DNA sequence: AACAAGATCAACCGCGAATCA
DNA sequence: ATGATTCGCGGTTGATCTTGT
């Protein structure tokens, strides 16, 4: 089992790249594309393994790479996404234009992590170091973890979509997309039906709280996922959460007209066509009327509210921060402000 | 000026996932 | 269906640079 490291074969060079090697690699890829990385070194006349070539290209030579100091905006983005995703550098990098996962990882390890630690914030949990979850909070923690998994899966799927520059090709998903488009003509065609965390972070926070419902608990199994909102229970087919369709979120399913149940009653096509969701229609419609990106604007406040309710307790870094929406917003903004401000020593 | 310690970051390594034959 | 191969990710290393004494 296993295989020997590709660079163990004799004669292959390791270590820093020379300008001449860079030139050879660049010239070859510009003319032929990289194709098979394994075969590339011989074709390009390089005494390197394919892995080394790929790394050099993706982390250094690629023309669409921005080098140099990270902006405060980029720092904020990294911290926000790390809070959501953990050390999933490639996924984080997919949301930060022109930065590589390696660069972001290095920057996190050498700058941001230390800065958070100095402020007394655990860089892995993004909570104050003296904060530990009590037994009474285990349910909330589980919910947080669950929601984070959803978001992680969605972000990964979105990153994949970006990479592939095409939408998921699936009859069911396509059907949902086309129906959703019919209801939401202002959504740009081809735009993945999922939210951009950062867009919401920067813009959607300002929406009145009453437009949103709250996920109070949730559970997941291979057949379906149950979301317990403040007033309503949704059972969402797991098609929205499996690997292939992970970009379809629970709330997207609600809006994208999948055959789920509300309070045990299957929604009929006419309910869907008319945006008629028994027991929840008024709230839904408020959100629908308020933005071009219904699914986005509805879902993320729900998600983030759940997050901050759990994350922010009375011991948070900026003082009192209960379950109030604005205070939760303040928690995150304050955290980010601290993170991006110069360290006072 | 010389040295040590700390910081930085390009590059490597090993593993798991995806793809191929 | 299965094993081999390739790819990509995240953790780690170590050479080089910077700062402090």
Query: Are A122 and A147 members of one domain?
Result: no
Query: Are A31 and A93 members of one domain?
Result: no
CA–C1' A264–B16 (A): 40
CA–C1' A56–C21 (A): 38
Report if CB A113 to strand C is under 7 Å. no
- Distance between alpha carbon A112 and the CA centroid of its chain, in Å? 19
Q: Is residue A65 part of a domain?
A: no
Q: What is the pLDDT of residue A333?
A: 57
Q: Which nucleotides of C are covered by protein (CB under 7 A)?
A: 5-12, 15-16
Q: Is residue A324 part of a domain?
A: no
Query: Are A113 and A247 members of one domain?
Result: no
Q: Is residue A202 part of a domain?
A: yes
Query: Are A78 and A193 members of one domain?
Result: no
Cα–Cα dist A279/A265, whole Å: 11
Let me know how long chain A is: 345
Q: What is the pLDDT of residue A162?
A: 53
Q: What is the pLDDT of residue A99?
A: 92
Distances (CA, A) of A160 to A33, A94, A189, A289: 20, 9, 18, 30
Q: What is the pLDDT of residue A56?
A: 92
CA–C1' A167–B21 (A): 29
Indicate the pTM of the whole model. 0.54
Query: Are A288 and A149 members of one domain?
Result: yes
- Say if residues A312 and A331 touch (Cβ distance below 8 Å): yes
Query: Are A294 and A162 members of one domain?
Result: yes
Q: Is residue A300 part of a domain?
A: yes
CA–C1' A4–B14 (A): 10
Query: Are A85 and A225 members of one domain?
Result: no
Residues of chain A with pLDDT under 70: 1-10, 129-345
Q: Which residue is nearest to nucleotide B11 (CA to C1')?
A: A15
Q: Is residue A93 part of a domain?
A: yes
| Protein residues with beta carbon less than 7 Å from any atom of strand B | A 2, 5, 7, 13-17, 51-52, 55-56, 59-60, 67, 102-103, 105-107, 109-111, 114, 243
Query: Are A159 and A35 members of one domain?
Result: no
Domain that holds residue A180: 140-307
Cα–Cα dist A241/A171, whole Å: 16
Query: Are A145 and A260 members of one domain?
Result: yes
Q: Is residue A273 part of a domain?
A: yes
CA angle A161, A248, A265 (to 5 degrees): 165
Q: Is residue A342 part of a domain?
A: no
Of A132, A151, A184, the last residue of a domain is A132
Query: Are A31 and A101 members of one domain?
Result: no
Q: What is the CATH number of the domain that holds A40?
A: 1.10.10.60
CA angle A277, A294, A223 (to 5 degrees): 55
The stretches of A57-204 forming alpha helices (DSSP H) are: 72-85, 89-93, 101-107, 113-118, 138-164, 171-183, 197-203
**DSSP 3-state assignment of A36?**
coil
Tell me how many domains chain A contains.
3
Query: Are A167 and A264 members of one domain?
Result: yes
Q: Return the percentage of chain A with pLDDT > 70, whole number.
A: 34
Q: Is residue A34 part of a domain?
A: yes
Report if CB A184 to strand C is under 7 Å. no
Query: Are A161 and A199 members of one domain?
Result: yes
Of A132, A156, A172, the last residue of a domain is A132
Cross-strand pairs, A229: A215
């Amino acid at each position: 089992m296993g295989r020997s490291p590709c660079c163990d074969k004799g004669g292959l060079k390791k270590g820093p790249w020379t300008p001449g090697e860079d030139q050879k690699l660049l010239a070859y890829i510009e003319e032929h594309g990289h194709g098979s990385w394994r075969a590339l070194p011989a074709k390009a006349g390089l005494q390197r393994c394919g892995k080394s070539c790929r790394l050099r290209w993706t982390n250094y030579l690629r023309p669409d790479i921005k080098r140099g100091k990270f902006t405060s905006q980029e720092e904020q983005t990294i911290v926000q996404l790390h809070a959501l995703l953990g050390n999933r550098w490639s996924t984080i990098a997919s949301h930060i234009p022109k930065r590589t996962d390696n660069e972001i990882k290095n920057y996190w390890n050498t700058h941001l992590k230390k800065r958070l630690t100095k402020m007394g914030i655990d860089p892995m949990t993004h909570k104050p170091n003296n904060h530990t979850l009590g037994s009474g909070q285990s349910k909330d923690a589980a919910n947080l973890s669950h929601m984070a998994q959803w978001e992680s899966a969605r972000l990964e799927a979105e990153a994949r979509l970006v990479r592939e520059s095409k939408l998921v090709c699936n009859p069911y998903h396509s059907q949902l997309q086309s129906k959703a488009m019919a209801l939401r003509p202002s959504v740009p065609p081809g735009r993945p039906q999922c939210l951009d965390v950062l867009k919401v972070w920067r813009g959607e926070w300002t929406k009145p709280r009453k437009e949103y419902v709250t996920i109070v608990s949730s559970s997941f199994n291979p057949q379906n996922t149950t979301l317990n909102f403040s007033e309503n229970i949704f059972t969402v087919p797991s098609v929205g959460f499996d690997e292939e369709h992970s970009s379809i979120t629970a709330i997207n399913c609600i809006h994208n007209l999948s055959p789920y149940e509300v309070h045990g009653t299957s929604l009929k096509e006419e309910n869907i066509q008319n945006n008629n969701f028994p027991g929840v229609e008024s709230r839904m419609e408020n959100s629908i009327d308020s933005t071009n990106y219904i699914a986005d604007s509805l879902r993320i406040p729900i998600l983030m509210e759940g997050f901050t309710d759990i994350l922010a307790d009375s011991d948070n870094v900026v003082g009192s921060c209960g379950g109030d929406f604005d205070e939760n917003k303040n928690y995150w903004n304050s955290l980010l402000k601290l993170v991006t401000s110069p360290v006072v020593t």
